[in-house]
Homo-oligomer: A and B are copies of this chain.
Amino acid sequence: MKHLIDPLDLSVEEIAELLDVASDIEKNPQKYAEVCRGKKLATLFYEPSTRTRLSFEAAMLNLGGSILGFSSADSSSASKGESVADTIRVVSCYADICAMRHPKEGAPKVASAYAGIPVINAGDGGHQHPTQTLTDLLTIRSLKGRLDHLTIGLCGDLKFGRTVHSLIKSLARYSDIRFVLISPEELRVPDYIREEVLRAKNIPFVEVERMEEVLPELDILYMTRVQRERFFNEEDYVRLKDSYILDRQKLSLASKEMFILHPLPRVNEISTEVDNDPRAAYFKQAQYGVYVRMALILKLLGLEVD
């Protein structure tokens, strides 16, 4: 039985295989249209996340499978005091695979210990969101043709953004990666990322406050939302939220071959005037998210397509 709980559960080799399948799906979707016929995906979302849920559901439907589940804790048995361990054992009777979103860190890991079916962590609190990381990796590899020899800029809230931390840890496994960390002083990456990941592995990085000075050297600019709910007080939020807005003027400083990623939803950290620039890849990224989830479902169900 295999699960995906942490983005690092998969080796670099397994990720390469997964992304290969995802790329094949992109090229030949019809080949995969019936492979999950008769299989069911349960989406167990203890907190709402429409985008992630719909991405999983689209993935399963594209494979010819079916979907069932719930989209918020209100409509689940959780309100009757049931443990995640019991819920997953029951859901194992109803579905062949499940994607679980939970506000509590570690809940999907607990579930995987009791599940009779593969469990995919679809986000647990501020902790992990491995299919977002796989989406980011597929997007980068598809657009740049490689996951090594890259200068990666990460911009915005680098302190609380779990997608940023996961992406740094994942890319740190490839050779010749350099990070450019762009954030206000208050929202710099946590110490453990700086010390245990970057310095421990001798990975070159810089930390800067202004996007403009580093844009020309980036292969990828990964923008993130400044989430209101991460701030301790409203005043800080208001002061900082507009500091890191990518607009056409700033973008003019970047290379023609740089691509802009964003895990979405965006609020205003990328000006809409940038949307039609060929370097804007954040909506393509949503499409890659479906392909990589399709590949993941196939892998965890042990299904192969020739």
Chain A positions near chain B (C-beta within 8 angstroms): 33, 38, 40, 42, 48-51, 54-55, 57-58, 61-62, 64, 66-72, 74-77, 79-82, 85-87, 89-95, 264-267, 272, 283, 286-287, 289-290
Contact = CB atoms under 8 A, between A and B. Distances in A.
A35 to B, nearest CB: 12
Contact of A283 (B42, B70, B81, B90): B90
Given A80-B267, A90-B283, 17 more contacts: A33-B38, A42-B54, A48-B76, A48-B79, A51-B77, A51-B90, A58-B93, A58-B94, A58-B95, A61-B66, A61-B68, A81-B265, A81-B267, A86-B264, A86-B265, A90-B286, A93-B286
B40 A68 contact: no
A75 B58 contact: no
A77 B90 CA distance: 29
A267 B82 contact: yes
A153 to B, nearest CB: 22
Contacts of A38: 33, 64
A75 B48 contact: yes
A283 B83 CA distance: 14
Q: Which of A64, A76, A79, A94 is the most central at the interface, judged by chain B CB atoms within 10 Å of its CB? A: A94
B68 A50 contact: no
